[in-house]
Amino acid sequence: MSSHTTVSSEATSSNVSSSNAASSDIASASQAPMFINRPHHTVSSNCYNGADRGMYAWSQTITDLEIEVRVSENVLKSNQISVSVTATTINVLVDGNKLLSGDFAHSVRKDETVWTLTPGKYVQIQLEKAKEAWWDQLIKSEPKINLQAIDSTRPFSELPQEEQMKVNELIWNDYQKAKGLPRSEQMKTADLLKKAWNADGSPFKGRPFDPSILNTQ
Tell me the pLDDT tens digit for each residue of 153-163. Answer: 877 676 677 87
200: pLDDT confidence band, cut at 50, 70 and 90? confident
- CA-based torsion, 166, 168, 173, 174: positive or negative: positive
Average confidence score pLDDT of the chain: 76
- Give every strand in the sheet of 26-29, ordered side by side: 26-29, 32-37, 114-118, 122-128, 64-70, 56-60, 51-52
Domains held by the chain: number:
2
25: pLDDT confidence band, cut at 50, 70 and 90? very low
Looking at mean pLDDT, say which of 86-90, 183-187, 211-215 comes out highest. Answer: 86-90
Q: Is 132 helix (H, G, I), strand (E, B) or coil?
A: coil
Residue 62's CB is within 10 A of a number of other CB atoms, namely 16
| Residues 55 and 116 occupy one common structural domain | yes
CATH number, domain containing residue 86: 2.60.40.790
Domain assignment present for residue 1? The answer is: no
Domain assignment present for residue 62? The answer is: yes
User: What is the span of the domain harbouring residue 66?
Assistant: 51-128
| Mean pLDDT on 16-43 | 37
pLDDT of residue 206: 72
Instruction: Report the percentage of the chain scoring pLDDT > 90.
Output: 47
Q: What CA–CA distance (Å, rounded) separates 124 from 39?
A: 12
pLDDT of residue 35: 44
Instruction: Of 151, 147, 138, give the one whose Cα is nearest residue 55.
Output: 138
95: pLDDT confidence band, cut at 50, 70 and 90? very high
User: Is 70 exceeded by the pLDDT of residue 39?
Assistant: no
Q: What CA–CA distance (Å, rounded) separates 180 from 145?
A: 48
| Residues making up the chain, counted from first to last | 217
Give backbone dihedrals phi and psi of 105, rounded to 5 degrees, phi first: -65, -30
